[in-house]
Structure 1
Amino acid sequence: MVVTTQGLIRIIPDFPSPGIIFKDITPLLADKEVFAQCCKEIASLAQECDYIAGIEARGFIFAAAAAVMGNKGFIPIRKLGKLPGETISKSYELEYATATLEIHANLIPQGKRVLVVDDVLATGGTALAAVELIIAANLTPTGVVCLLDIPALGGKSRINEAHPDLQIQTLLAE
């Protein structure tokens, strides 16, 4: 299912750095019906999963709400240095920088099925790093769900090349 944004995504040029076009989802979050519809859709896509993982920061918002709606556990995938205890980390390239994501090690029983959620699929670096963290934690990624896709940046192709059996879905059409 594709949700129409009805102008609920603001385009912010040159943020966070020159040449980047930022897609601000704050108006969408403020619209209770569209926000709920997005979370319900993610929950429905996670029916065969045990957990929903959300990528910091904006993926948290949707993944946590969908996990509650779908009666699933929530796994936070955080930026470097934000998780206490033993972690697994993965560095990756962004459209405009380098970053590192982390997941707790040994907290989720091995082999559990996990749906990965983020807000925007651009180059695919963040989502691919999250999928690889799920695998490194001995969990099974079932798919990636993003609110928006920027097809010109090739993220979907990059993920499909590395993990051809992984389902990648986008919820919003602008």
Structure 2
Amino acid sequence: MPSADTLRAAIRDVVDFPKPGIVFKDITPVLSDGALFRDAITLICDSAGGQKIDKVVGIDARGFIFAAAVADRLGAGFVPVRKKGKLPWKTRQKAYSLEYGESVVELHEDAVAPGESVLLVDDLLATGGTAGAALELLDQLGAKVVGVTFLIELAFLGGRKMLGDHKVVSILIFND
């Protein structure tokens, strides 16, 4: 049985990255260990609660790593939510606020059909701006979002409040 405690022990804190005052949660030790990565994928898949999932949506960029593996494991399609200008087809866009400024994410207009069951996956929930924007795009397309799962949640930043009433599961929660 996969253990969240084992995953937590592998996550490395990097002080003052990417700027002074930030403690970055480095997931690369989890990614580089086959057993830990497999355990992370299993725990994320379990968060779907056995529901049928048509599409797993991953958020640029580290969310792609987990979402693609989860999609494969669940036998679902993979859909990328990308930063503005990175998708080649017709897109829907959503701007959202960052700590200093604004950013935009995009989703192909035909990425999800109305009523398809979707699991949104990302590596980290911080302030919730990016995931909140992705959820708005999925709502515009008529997706049935059955859950939102993160490997890590920085609970002290309050990102859950940006995700509405969606079911949110975080494998690892850090309170400071």
TM-score normalized by structure 2?
0.88
Is 1:99 aligned with 2:103?
A: yes
1:78 aligns with 2:79: no
Cα 1:96/1:38, change in 2 over 3 Å: farther
| Structure 2 alignment gaps of length 5 or more | none
What is the aligned partner in structure 2 of residue 127 from structure 1? 131
- Give the letter for the 2:128 counterpart: G
Q: Secondary structure at the match of 2:31?
A: helix
Match of 1:112 in 2: 116
The residue matched to 2:17 in structure 1 has which SS?
coil
The equivalences for 1:4-153 within 5 A come to 4=5, 5-46=7-48, 47-48=50-51, 49-153=53-157
Deviation at 1:87, TM superposition (A): 0.3
Deviation at 1:94, TM superposition (A): 2.6
* TM-fit CA distance, 1:44: 2.9
The answer on whether the counterparts of 1:2 and 1:171 sit within 8 Å (CA) in structure 2 is no
Larger relative contact order, structure 1 or 2 (CA cutoff 8 Å, min sep 6) = 1
Q: What is the percent sequence identity of the aligned residues?
A: 43
CA contact 2:56–2:67 (8 Å) conserved in 1: yes
Alpha-carbon shift at residue 127 of structure 1 (Å) = 1.0
> Following the alignment from structure 1 to structure 2, what is the Cα–Cα distance between the partners of residues 105 and 111?
14
Partner of 2:168: 168
Which blocks of at least 5 consecutive residues in structure 1 are unaligned? none
Q: Say if 2:7 is the partner of 1:3.
A: no
Counterpart of 1:17 in 2: which secondary structure?
coil
Write out per-residue CA displacement over residues 10-51 of structure 1, whole angstroms, 9 at most, x where no aligned residue. Answer: 222332233332211101101111110111222233342211
1:59 maps to amino acid: G
